[in-house]
Copies of this chain bind each other. A is one copy, B any other.
């Protein structure tokens, strides 16, 4: 691990100048500060100040995920992370990172510059600029729903998608469904890929009918259900597994608009169990993610990484929450 002295030697400047660069003092030039930070990152320097209360700072980066109100997917995750971190006397800053932000800031440099000891990143997509930097970051980092191969500093946290999709299909099969469609989330996300694989393997295992016209990717937004669901219905699907609750909400709306009853004609099952799931009409059967616990576990995993215990994966089990949007298959479709 490089020290401040190592950085000073490399750059041929004094230790106090390096300190100023790392601590954001105003009496050195911006160019020199950037050079100090870049060199510190390159040499694997990291702040060792986590025992002093004033420096116990963690960052929670959020992108592509709603989190500000109680009804959003991210709310409980952010809350759980903060609750557990605060309990252990860490300060947490939430920073929104759009693509432009990621392009303008190097990940390690940003953390170092702001004195963060580590970060939890919620919502990073495979094609986002920072994703590439995760392969080499020297900063303790926990990624929600993203796995990085071979970097000791990065841990994965998520819900077991395979088990969740399997539960959903098993639930429908037990209700007699044999033609089950799948409205997955966004392409280019690890969970969508995992869920696709899980769904296809469940189709084989339960010997149910599903062809390519009965599977689609829907970007996790309700609108895309309106686009895909009519096709599923034409194929004769009696049930639809959705990649999240918003897609399921859209699927219910579309079915009703097309003249089908939910659940009498078509059973619909969501994923996540966000608050709207209890208030859709009918209330939604869904695969629950324990989101507050995911946030709490993100903190414990991050703390382990900060303490040089390289946890590569922490996975929680999903749970089936049965409400009213699924029922036994009717003998024939209305249409």
Contacts and interface: CB of A to CB of B under 8 A. Distances in A.
Contacts of A149: 163, 166
A319 B310 CA distance: 10
A313 B310 contact: no
B311 A313 contact: no
A293 B300 CA distance: 14
A146 interface: no
A19 interface: no
Nearest to A310: B317
A205 to B, nearest CB: 12
A314 interface: yes
A165 to B, nearest CB: 12
Counted per complex, copies of this chain come to: 2
Contacts of A317: 150, 152, 310-312
Interface in A139-169: 149-150, 152, 160, 163, 166-167
Contacts of A297: 304, 309, 311
A304 B160 CA distance: 16
Contacts of A314: 311, 313-315
A296 interface: yes
Nearest to A314: B314
A290 interface: yes
B313 A160 contact: yes
A144 to B, nearest CB: 15
A309 B316 contact: yes
Interface of A: 149-150, 152, 160, 163, 166-167, 290, 293, 296-297, 300, 304, 309-317, 319
Minimum-distance CB pairs A-B, first 10: A313-B315, A310-B317, A312-B317, A293-B309, A312-B315, A160-B312, A152-B317, A314-B314, A311-B316, A313-B313
Given A149-B163, A310-B317, 13 more contacts: A150-B163, A150-B166, A152-B319, A160-B312, A163-B312, A293-B309, A296-B309, A297-B311, A309-B316, A310-B316, A310-B319, A311-B315, A313-B315
